[in-house]
Amino acid sequence: MKARIKIMLKNGVLDPQGEAIKHALNNIGFENVTGVRQGKVIELEIDGSDKGQVRSELDKMCNKLLANTVIENFEIEIL
């Protein structure tokens, strides 16, 4: 089974990489960009046929290692 996990900083958490991207885009002529939030995507291959059990395992992975849940939110998508 394949899964995709999207991890983003929570609203209100300063995103210096997003600000740097916005600044760079503005500098090369894309002045209409007013905000950027940068995150990460992780794709996993995982054994299992029970989607509920796989989702539970992925949730544990995110909470224990893949995401810093103090400052980040994550979304799990089973593909």
- Average pLDDT by stretches of 10, the chain with 79 residues: 97 96 98 96 95 96 98 97
Contact 25, 17 (CB under 8 A): no
Is it true that domain 2-78 has CATH number 3.20.190.10?
Answer: no
- Res 52: pLDDT: 94
Segment holding 22, helix H or strand E: helix 16-27
